[in-house]
Amino acid sequence: MSGVPAAPDGPAGRPAIVVLREAASRYGLIAVLAALPLYLAILDLTHDGDLSKLGNNIVAGLSNGAIYALIALGYTLVYGIIELINFAHGEVFMIGSFVAFGLWGTLGLGLATGPLGLVFGLLATLLITMVVCGVMNVMIEQVAYKPLRNAPKLAPLITAVGMSFILQNVGILWLGASPASVADLIHAQQDVVTVAGVTVHRADVLAIAVTIPLVLALTTFISRSRLGKAMRATAQDPDAARLMGINVNTTISLTFLLGGALAGAAGLINLLYQTSVWYFQGFEAGLIAFTAAVMGGIGNLKGAVLGGLIIGCIQQISDYRIGADWTPAVVFAYLILIMVFRPQGLIGEVTREAG
């Protein structure tokens, strides 16, 4: 440095352009995310004089976002540990809805079931669905990803896409190619409370009430238990973890089990919420949830939940303000913007290779 005349530097001693670029990277995404709701808020205030319309969208968005958060956790867990975009994960969620729907028939849950029976029936459905989806996700891993662990990195991504198509077609054979409507067991759209024109429905309460305990249980498991420690160790460095006596294969399977179980829970909530099932629901929800995981910072659990809630709001706002036909395009546009300008996400840090 000595003898070289210093370039015109910013206050921190770095060129202004670098400071500017860092600021754009850090706050740019937040600005882009906030632009749409802010614009609509101003529009609402000038037209209606209050924000109840936007408020309703955000309430529905948060509860929808809770479902996306559960799915996004599965993406983020798997990506964190083997750096694979588990493309078939959305389909596990879809199969979760199908399994739950089948279980209602088996358990005899219907509109005539009493409240007590409903609560126990749905709890049983939740548990069985979570187990079935968890086990299924492990089986997917064994069949489609494990044989390719030393293959080029994109090979398992391609088999994941193949797996996703297989599961979609299982869905078609199971319940047909068009959406089927199911019994509205919990009267999902019944109002619970209305504050300042913003209504909270039963479905919203349900989604939040199931998601919060599950997320808390998951984070506790990962941060406190021995197996959770093994997962974190494997995510950080699989080879070192193996040298320390951790069974890496079991740990990876456990990760898939947890991710699948959460997707199964999301499947049941979605069934109660939307009162319909469709073989294609997993494809769209999966991609939206993946966007959520990337938005939060893939590999980061808190990020996945935050991203899920944000993307849920974007999706609702877009559904009601721009048009449901355009929602996928809006979500994917956000996905591209994030990938290009802030691939590490909102609260993710630059991790092993996932810069």
Partner 1 sequence: MTAVRNRLGSHFNLVAAIAGLAIAAIIPMFLDPLSSITDNAITAGAYVVMALGLNIVVGFAGLLDLGYVAFFAFGAYTTAWFASLQFAPANHSKGIHILAGDFASKLPGLHFNFLIILVLAIVITGIAGMLIGLPTLRLRGDYIAIVTLAFGEIIYRFAVNGDAIHLGKGYPLTGGRQAIAPLDSIDLPGLPAFDDASNLRPFFWFVLVLVALVLFVNFRLRESRLGRAWIAMREDEVAAASMGIPLVKTKLLAYATGAAFGGISGAFLASYQSAVNADQFQFGVSIFILAMIIMGGLGSIWGVVFGAVVLSFINTYFIPNVFNSIPSHLGLNFDLTQVSFGIFGFLILIVMVLRPQGLFPERRRKIELTEGIGADESLAEERP
Q: Point out which span in 57-65, 66-74, 169-177, 227-235 binds partner 1 (CB under 8 A).
A: 169-177
Please tell me whether residue 159 binds partner 1 under the rule CB under 8 A: yes
154 touches 87 (CB < 8 A): no
Q: Which is nearer to partner 1, 180 or 195 (CB)?
A: 180
State the number of binding residues for partner 1 (CB under 8 A). Answer: 46
Amino acid, single-letter form, for residue 188? A
Paired residues of 280 in beta bridges? none
Question: Interaction with partner 1 in 129-148: which residues (CB under 8 A)?
Answer: 143-144, 147-148
CA distance from start to end of the chain: 29
Which helix (H) or strand (E) element contains residue 297? Answer: none
Amino acid, single-letter form, for residue 218? L
Q: 342 by DSSP, 3-state: which?
A: coil
Please tell me whether residue 3 binds partner 1 under the rule CB under 8 A: no
Work out how close the CB of 261 gets to partner 1 at its nearest, in angstroms, rounded to a whole number. Answer: 23
Among 162, 193, 220, 250, binds partner 1 (CB under 8 A): 162
**CA dist., res. 18 & res. 15, Å (int):** 6
Nearest to 281, CA basis, from 172, 119, 150, 354:
172
Please tell me whether residue 119 binds partner 1 under the rule CB under 8 A: no
Among 163, 210, 215, 314, binds partner 1 (CB under 8 A): 163
**CA dist., res. 144 & res. 156, Å (int):** 7
Among 59, 67, 268, 335, binds partner 1 (CB under 8 A): 335
Among 336, 347, 349, 352, binds partner 1 (CB under 8 A): 336
Question: Interaction with partner 1 in 172-191: which residues (CB under 8 A)?
Answer: 172-173, 177
Amino acid, single-letter form, for residue 125? T
Please tell me whether residue 24 binds partner 1 under the rule CB under 8 A: no
Among 164, 253, 300, 315, binds partner 1 (CB under 8 A): 164
- DSSP annotation of 136: H
Q: How far is CA 348 from CA 73, 76, 224, 283, in A?
A: 14, 11, 21, 25
Q: Point out which span in 102-110, 230-238, 309-317, 327-335 binds partner 1 (CB under 8 A).
A: 327-335
185 touches 111 (CB < 8 A): yes
202 touches 189 (CB < 8 A): yes
Please tell me whether residue 329 binds partner 1 under the rule CB under 8 A: yes
Paired residues of 198 in beta bridges? 195
Q: Point out which span in 52-60, 197-205, 266-274, 321-329 binds partner 1 (CB under 8 A).
A: 321-329
Paired residues of 195 in beta bridges? 198
Could you list the residues that contact partner 1 (CB under 8 A)? 83-85, 143-144, 147-148, 150-155, 157-159, 161-166, 168-170, 172-173, 177, 283, 287, 290, 294, 323, 325-326, 328-329, 332-333, 335-336, 339-340, 343, 353, 355
